[in-house]
Structure 1
Amino acid sequence: MSEPTGTGTGKYSITMPRDIADAAKARSGPSGLSAYVAAAVARQIERDNLNDLIQVAEAEHGPVTEEEVRVLRDQLLQARQQQARGGADAA
């Protein structure tokens, strides 16, 4: 039986500054350094993919203004506050 694509693991040798490696080891906990580093790389890939999408969208529609960002942040904050109030009311 073969493994689904993307689920296998491989052994790799990487180089990083010692202080970063020491901090990662200290924070990695029971899952270990490999899992910690894999999760960090996965998050970076997600960020890179998001940045790619933003570049495509801005090329097509123009850059997002600071005012648009402020309005959306305000809406998100209001939604979180409403959700928190709703959760407190249900308890």
Structure 2
Amino acid sequence: MSEPTGKYSITMPRDIAEAAKARSGPSGLSAYVAAAVARQIERDNLNELITVAEAAHGPVTDDEIQSLRDELVRARREQTEPGATAA
């Protein structure tokens, strides 16, 4: 069963509303906007977690980020290319 819904009135720039309406497809504008808001809430929550983690452990460096990106690329390659090994 789906979550209970409520009806709300929002105001947004017309060009954004029209673009969203054009892209919303069969699920409709309300579902499109709800998905966009849900993604923003996820981002806000992640930013809060990052702030807490950086306060406790210091900021993540660019080198650490690049290292993790490289690791992710290797892992994806190993999943899609049987027999592929990390370089």
Instruction: State the distance in 2 between where 1:19 and 1:13 align.
Output: 17
Unmatched tracts of structure 2, length 5 or more: 83-87
Aligned length: 82
Instruction: State the distance in 1 between where 2:58 and 2:79 align.
Output: 32
Helix, strand or coil at the partner of 2:81: helix
Q: Which residue of structure 1 aligns with residue 9 of structure 2? A: 13
Unmatched tracts of structure 1, length 5 or more: 87-91
TM-score by length of 2: 0.90
1:1-80 alignment, distance < 5 Å? 7-80=3-76
Alpha-carbon RMSD: 1.4
More helix by share: 1
TM-score by length of 1: 0.87
Structure 1 segments (4+ residues) deviating >3 Å: none
Which amino acid is the alignment partner of residue 64 of structure 1?
V
Instruction: State the distance in 2 between where 1:49 and 1:8 align.
Output: 22
Deviating more after overlay: 77-86 vs 27-36? 77-86
Give aligned-pair identity as a percent. Answer: 74
